[in-house]
Amino acid sequence: MAPRKKQAEPEENRQLEIEMASAEPESKPKKAKGKKEEAAKLELSLEEAFVKLDELMEQLESGEGSLEESFLLYQQGMQLLKQCNESIDRVEKKLIVLEEEGI
């Protein structure tokens, strides 16, 4: 005879219900919209991003921080660089459209 499985305690069942409820697809569209709005608010202008990149470079070049701090600064810089490239790409695409329209 195989040993019986222990049934989950009521508290464990409640935790599972909470986890499953939080993973329901109903909440996903709201979160996606919120993330886009949040990203738009957090995005710096191109000029602001360049200033921030300069500040990060100065901090990295000073060599005063730990390896972990330097790595975090590097990651922030790479994210800003990505944002700058995306911003420049958007402007270039708009310019191409305007040239094609003859404006």
Q: What is the pLDDT of residue 103?
A: 75
What is the longest distance spanned by two Cα atoms in the chain? 84
The two structure tokens encoding residue 70: 């330097």
- In this structure, the answer to whether residues 57 and 102 fall within a common structural domain is yes
Is 1 domain-assigned? no
Q: What is the pLDDT of residue 32?
A: 46
Q: What is the pLDDT of residue 13?
A: 45
Is 97 domain-assigned? yes
Regarding pTM above 0.85, the answer is no
Residue-wise pLDDT for 3-41, tens only, equals 554 444 445 445 545 444 444 444 334 444 555 544 545
Q: Which residue range is the domain that position 51 belongs to?
A: 43-103
Residue-wise pLDDT for 37-85, tens only, equals 445 456 789 999 999 999 999 999 999 989 999 999 999 999 999 999 9
- In this structure, the answer to whether residues 36 and 47 fall within a common structural domain is no
Q: Is 98 helix (H, G, I), strand (E, B) or coil?
A: helix
Is 103 domain-assigned? yes
Cα angle vertex 85, ends 87, 95, to 5°?
Answer: 50
Q: Which residue has the tokens 């019986």?
A: 4
The DSSP secondary-structure symbol of 87 reads H
- In this structure, the answer to whether residues 100 and 75 fall within a common structural domain is yes
- In this structure, the answer to whether residues 34 and 48 fall within a common structural domain is no
User: What's the CA gap between 9 and 101, in Å, rounded?
Assistant: 68
Q: What is the pLDDT of residue 83?
A: 94
Q: What is the pLDDT of residue 1?
A: 53
